[in-house]
Amino acid sequence: MSTLAPSRVQVEELVRSILRRQLGAGAAASADGAAVARRPHLVANISARHCHLTQADVDVLFGEGYQLTPMKRLYQPTEFAANETVAVVGPRQRMIPGVRILGPCRSFSQVELAFSDAISLGIDVPVKPSGDIEGTPGCLLIGPKGSLVLPKGVIRAERHVHMGPKDAAYYGVKHLDRINMRVEGTCPTVLEGLLARVHEDWKLEVHIDTDEANACDLAHATKVTLFRGSSSLTRIQDFGS
Protein backbone atom coordinates (compact mmCIF):
# COMPACT_ATOMS: atom_id res chain seq x y z
CA MET A 1 0.00 0.00 0.00
CA SER A 2 1.36 3.45 -0.88
CA THR A 3 2.16 5.75 2.01
CA LEU A 4 -0.02 8.37 0.29
CA ALA A 5 -3.12 6.23 0.69
CA PRO A 6 -5.20 7.10 3.76
CA SER A 7 -4.98 4.64 6.61
CA ARG A 8 -7.92 2.48 7.58
CA VAL A 9 -8.34 4.61 10.70
CA GLN A 10 -8.53 7.77 8.59
CA VAL A 11 -11.06 6.19 6.22
CA GLU A 12 -13.21 5.09 9.12
CA GLU A 13 -13.12 8.55 10.66
CA LEU A 14 -14.00 10.11 7.30
CA VAL A 15 -16.98 7.75 6.89
CA ARG A 16 -18.12 8.48 10.43
CA SER A 17 -17.97 12.24 9.91
CA ILE A 18 -20.01 11.94 6.68
CA LEU A 19 -22.58 9.73 8.39
CA ARG A 20 -22.79 12.08 11.34
CA ARG A 21 -23.55 14.97 9.01
CA GLN A 22 -26.07 12.97 6.99
CA LEU A 23 -27.87 11.49 9.96
CA GLY A 24 -27.64 14.41 12.31
CA ALA A 25 -28.00 14.10 16.04
CA GLY A 26 -29.64 10.95 17.33
CA ALA A 27 -27.62 8.56 15.24
CA ALA A 28 -24.11 7.19 15.45
CA ALA A 29 -21.88 5.20 13.15
CA SER A 30 -20.54 1.81 14.09
CA ALA A 31 -16.93 0.81 13.40
CA ASP A 32 -17.81 -0.77 10.08
CA GLY A 33 -19.43 2.43 8.91
CA ALA A 34 -23.04 1.25 9.19
CA ALA A 35 -25.54 3.69 10.61
CA VAL A 36 -26.91 2.68 14.01
CA ALA A 37 -29.96 4.51 15.31
CA ARG A 38 -29.71 5.59 18.92
CA ARG A 39 -31.62 3.28 21.24
CA PRO A 40 -34.86 4.98 22.22
CA HIS A 41 -35.62 5.57 25.88
CA LEU A 42 -38.21 2.95 26.84
CA VAL A 43 -40.66 3.63 29.64
CA ALA A 44 -43.09 0.97 30.88
CA ASN A 45 -45.95 2.37 32.91
CA ILE A 46 -48.84 0.81 34.77
CA SER A 47 -52.26 1.87 33.59
CA ALA A 48 -54.49 1.62 36.65
CA ARG A 49 -58.27 1.44 36.23
CA HIS A 50 -59.60 4.69 34.79
CA CYS A 51 -62.20 6.10 32.48
CA HIS A 52 -62.45 8.50 29.55
CA LEU A 53 -65.65 10.50 29.23
CA THR A 54 -67.43 12.62 26.67
CA GLN A 55 -68.19 16.19 27.69
CA ALA A 56 -71.90 15.25 27.57
CA ASP A 57 -71.30 12.52 30.17
CA VAL A 58 -69.21 14.91 32.31
CA ASP A 59 -72.19 17.30 32.19
CA VAL A 60 -74.49 14.61 33.57
CA LEU A 61 -72.09 13.40 36.26
CA PHE A 62 -70.61 16.75 37.40
CA GLY A 63 -73.13 19.36 36.25
CA GLU A 64 -73.83 21.22 33.02
CA GLY A 65 -70.68 22.74 31.48
CA TYR A 66 -68.35 21.31 34.13
CA GLN A 67 -64.70 21.22 33.02
CA LEU A 68 -62.33 18.49 34.21
CA THR A 69 -59.39 19.88 36.19
CA PRO A 70 -55.88 18.42 35.67
CA MET A 71 -54.33 16.81 38.74
CA LYS A 72 -51.25 15.40 37.02
CA ARG A 73 -49.81 15.50 33.52
CA LEU A 74 -49.23 12.04 32.11
CA TYR A 75 -46.12 10.85 30.26
CA GLN A 76 -47.96 11.45 26.99
CA PRO A 77 -48.12 15.21 27.26
CA THR A 78 -51.59 15.57 25.73
CA GLU A 79 -53.15 13.48 28.52
CA PHE A 80 -53.82 14.27 32.14
CA ALA A 81 -55.21 12.54 35.21
CA ALA A 82 -58.11 14.64 36.42
CA ASN A 83 -58.90 15.49 40.02
CA GLU A 84 -62.38 14.13 39.34
CA THR A 85 -63.36 10.52 39.89
CA VAL A 86 -66.53 8.48 39.44
CA ALA A 87 -67.92 5.33 40.98
CA VAL A 88 -68.29 2.38 38.61
CA VAL A 89 -71.17 0.08 39.44
CA GLY A 90 -71.70 -3.39 37.98
CA PRO A 91 -74.61 -5.79 38.11
CA ARG A 92 -75.96 -6.60 41.59
CA GLN A 93 -74.80 -3.18 42.84
CA ARG A 94 -71.19 -4.11 43.28
CA MET A 95 -69.14 -0.94 43.05
CA ILE A 96 -65.61 0.44 42.70
CA PRO A 97 -65.49 4.03 44.02
CA GLY A 98 -62.93 6.66 43.05
CA VAL A 99 -62.17 5.58 39.50
CA ARG A 100 -59.92 8.29 38.03
CA ILE A 101 -61.00 10.19 34.92
CA LEU A 102 -58.32 10.84 32.32
CA GLY A 103 -58.69 13.99 30.28
CA PRO A 104 -59.21 15.69 28.00
CA CYS A 105 -62.73 14.58 27.08
CA ARG A 106 -63.10 12.22 24.13
CA SER A 107 -65.75 11.49 21.54
CA PHE A 108 -66.77 8.30 23.39
CA SER A 109 -66.87 7.19 27.00
CA GLN A 110 -64.85 4.16 28.02
CA VAL A 111 -64.01 2.44 31.31
CA GLU A 112 -60.70 0.54 31.42
CA LEU A 113 -60.47 -2.10 34.14
CA ALA A 114 -58.04 -4.84 35.09
CA PHE A 115 -59.55 -8.33 35.12
CA SER A 116 -59.46 -8.36 38.93
CA ASP A 117 -61.52 -5.14 38.94
CA ALA A 118 -64.01 -6.57 36.46
CA ILE A 119 -64.32 -9.79 38.45
CA SER A 120 -65.03 -7.85 41.64
CA LEU A 121 -67.73 -5.90 39.77
CA GLY A 122 -69.19 -9.04 38.21
CA ILE A 123 -68.62 -7.87 34.64
CA ASP A 124 -67.31 -10.33 32.03
CA VAL A 125 -65.03 -7.85 30.33
CA PRO A 126 -63.40 -8.35 26.91
CA VAL A 127 -59.79 -7.49 26.04
CA LYS A 128 -59.96 -4.68 23.49
CA PRO A 129 -57.76 -1.96 22.09
CA SER A 130 -58.83 1.45 23.31
CA GLY A 131 -61.73 2.77 21.24
CA ASP A 132 -62.95 -0.63 20.03
CA ILE A 133 -66.05 -0.67 22.20
CA GLU A 134 -68.79 -2.03 19.90
CA GLY A 135 -70.51 -4.93 21.61
CA THR A 136 -68.72 -4.41 24.94
CA PRO A 137 -70.58 -4.44 28.26
CA GLY A 138 -71.75 -1.30 30.00
CA CYS A 139 -72.03 -0.20 33.59
CA LEU A 140 -73.53 2.46 35.82
CA LEU A 141 -71.43 5.56 36.50
CA ILE A 142 -72.11 7.74 39.52
CA GLY A 143 -70.74 11.26 39.91
CA PRO A 144 -71.35 13.99 42.47
CA LYS A 145 -74.19 15.58 40.48
CA GLY A 146 -75.77 12.66 38.68
CA SER A 147 -75.52 9.17 37.33
CA LEU A 148 -75.84 7.53 33.97
CA VAL A 149 -76.03 4.12 32.40
CA LEU A 150 -73.12 3.62 30.07
CA PRO A 151 -74.58 1.22 27.47
CA LYS A 152 -71.13 -0.01 26.34
CA GLY A 153 -67.46 0.81 26.79
CA VAL A 154 -66.21 -1.32 29.68
CA ILE A 155 -63.03 -3.05 28.52
CA ARG A 156 -59.83 -4.53 29.75
CA ALA A 157 -57.42 -2.48 27.62
CA GLU A 158 -55.15 -4.57 25.46
CA ARG A 159 -51.46 -4.32 26.42
CA HIS A 160 -49.85 -1.82 24.08
CA VAL A 161 -46.94 0.45 23.41
CA HIS A 162 -47.22 4.05 22.28
CA MET A 163 -44.53 5.03 19.79
CA GLY A 164 -43.45 7.89 17.62
CA PRO A 165 -42.46 7.21 14.00
CA LYS A 166 -38.72 7.11 14.86
CA ASP A 167 -39.32 4.52 17.60
CA ALA A 168 -41.40 2.42 15.21
CA ALA A 169 -38.58 2.55 12.65
CA TYR A 170 -36.04 1.57 15.31
CA TYR A 171 -38.04 -1.49 16.36
CA GLY A 172 -39.05 -2.33 12.80
CA VAL A 173 -42.80 -2.19 13.42
CA LYS A 174 -45.72 -0.28 11.96
CA HIS A 175 -48.94 0.93 13.51
CA LEU A 176 -50.94 -2.04 14.90
CA ASP A 177 -48.07 -4.52 14.57
CA ARG A 178 -47.19 -6.69 17.56
CA ILE A 179 -44.08 -6.61 19.71
CA ASN A 180 -43.01 -8.43 22.88
CA MET A 181 -41.71 -7.14 26.17
CA ARG A 182 -39.25 -8.88 28.46
CA VAL A 183 -39.24 -7.85 32.10
CA GLU A 184 -36.16 -8.77 34.13
CA GLY A 185 -36.16 -8.70 37.90
CA THR A 186 -37.75 -10.60 40.74
CA CYS A 187 -40.52 -12.09 38.55
CA PRO A 188 -38.95 -12.43 35.10
CA THR A 189 -41.69 -12.42 32.48
CA VAL A 190 -42.21 -12.11 28.76
CA LEU A 191 -45.41 -10.40 27.73
CA GLU A 192 -46.16 -11.15 24.10
CA GLY A 193 -48.21 -9.40 21.49
CA LEU A 194 -48.18 -5.82 22.71
CA LEU A 195 -50.06 -3.71 20.20
CA ALA A 196 -47.84 -1.04 18.63
CA ARG A 197 -49.69 2.23 18.45
CA VAL A 198 -47.79 4.74 16.35
CA HIS A 199 -48.55 8.44 16.31
CA GLU A 200 -46.27 11.35 15.56
CA ASP A 201 -47.07 13.02 18.90
CA TRP A 202 -46.38 9.98 21.08
CA LYS A 203 -43.39 9.22 23.26
CA LEU A 204 -42.23 5.63 23.61
CA GLU A 205 -44.25 4.17 26.46
CA VAL A 206 -45.63 0.72 27.28
CA HIS A 207 -49.00 0.51 29.02
CA ILE A 208 -49.91 -2.63 30.92
CA ASP A 209 -52.59 -2.88 33.56
CA THR A 210 -52.20 -3.48 37.29
CA ASP A 211 -52.76 -7.24 37.04
CA GLU A 212 -50.04 -7.61 34.40
CA ALA A 213 -47.69 -5.27 36.25
CA ASN A 214 -48.17 -7.08 39.55
CA ALA A 215 -47.60 -10.46 37.91
CA CYS A 216 -44.19 -9.40 36.63
CA ASP A 217 -43.41 -7.06 39.57
CA LEU A 218 -42.85 -4.22 37.13
CA ALA A 219 -42.31 -1.79 39.99
CA HIS A 220 -39.05 -3.59 40.86
CA ALA A 221 -37.97 -4.58 37.36
CA THR A 222 -34.25 -4.20 36.70
CA LYS A 223 -34.57 -4.07 32.92
CA VAL A 224 -37.36 -3.88 30.39
CA THR A 225 -36.79 -4.57 26.70
CA LEU A 226 -38.92 -4.80 23.59
CA PHE A 227 -38.27 -7.38 20.92
CA ARG A 228 -39.95 -8.59 17.80
CA GLY A 229 -40.80 -12.20 17.03
CA SER A 230 -43.74 -14.55 17.35
CA SER A 231 -42.57 -15.86 20.71
CA SER A 232 -39.70 -15.73 23.14
CA LEU A 233 -38.44 -19.04 21.74
CA THR A 234 -38.20 -17.76 18.18
CA ARG A 235 -36.80 -14.39 19.01
CA ILE A 236 -35.75 -12.52 15.88
CA GLN A 237 -34.11 -9.46 17.30
CA ASP A 238 -33.45 -8.16 20.76
CA PHE A 239 -33.37 -4.52 21.75
CA GLY A 240 -32.08 -2.81 24.83
CA SER A 241 -34.22 -0.67 27.05
Query: Which residues contact Zn ion by CB under 5 A?
Result: 207
Closer to Zn ion by CB, 49 or 207: give it.
207
Closest CB to Zn ion: residue number: 207
Scored b (16 or more CB within 10 A) or e, 106-134 reads beebbbbbbeebbeebebebeebebeebe
Closer to Zn ion by CB, 156 or 207: give it.
207
Minimum CB distance to Zn ion, residue 52 (Å): 11
Minimum CB distance to Zn ion, residue 30 (Å): 33
Minimum CB distance to Zn ion, residue 81 (Å): 13
Minimum CB distance to Zn ion, residue 16 (Å): 38
Closer to Zn ion by CB, 50 or 90: give it.
50
Reduce the DSSP state of residue 94 to 3 states and report it. Answer: coil
User: What residue ranges in the chain does DSSP mark as E strands?
Assistant: 27-29, 35-37, 43-47, 50-52, 70-73, 80-89, 95-103, 110-112, 127-128, 139-142, 147-150, 154-157, 160-163, 178-184, 189-198, 205-209, 223-228, 237-238
Closer to Zn ion by CB, 157 or 183: give it.
157
